[in-house]
Amino acid sequence: MYIRPIKTEIDYEAALRDIETLMRAEPDTSEGDRLDVLVTLVEAYEAKHFPLDLPDPVEAIKFTMEQKNLTAKDLIPMIGRLNRVYEVLNRTRPLTLNMIRRLHRELGIPAASLINQN
């Protein structure tokens, strides 16, 4: 199995084409191993060249509320009284560690997104 590092956009595009042809490869075969290695290389290249910024915590909460059809009242068990919920949503009160834990546990919002308070 010959695999080269992904150093350029051309290498990246070639790796993506190779991955596409190997998508039906069986695990624990030479083709399956090649697929695993190529995917790892592509992920590393993308992380370096196309980094994704974490969303703002309030935007992550609002997005989750929209996706799950939640209201501010639904956040009371995770954040506290309704006025506190509005303070968080209006960015006048930062999230506490307990709020972050509860929002992560109850709504599945990634903790990294909730901690990202610029």
Predicted model pTM: 0.58
Per cent of the chain over pLDDT 90 is 73
pLDDT computed for residue 103 by the predictor: 96
More confident residue, 107 or 113: 107
Q: Per-residue DSSP letters for 51-112?
A: PPPPPPHHHHHHHHHHHTT--GGGGHHHH-SHHHHHHHHTTSSPPPHHHHHHHHHHH---HH
The pLDDT of residue 27 is above 90: no
The pLDDT of residue 116 is above 80: no
DSSP code, position 18: H
Q: Mean pLDDT over residues 23-50, rounded?
A: 90
The pLDDT of residue 115 is above 90: no
Q: Please write the tens of the pLDDT for every residue from 72-103.
A: 999 999 999 999 999 999 999 999 999 999 99
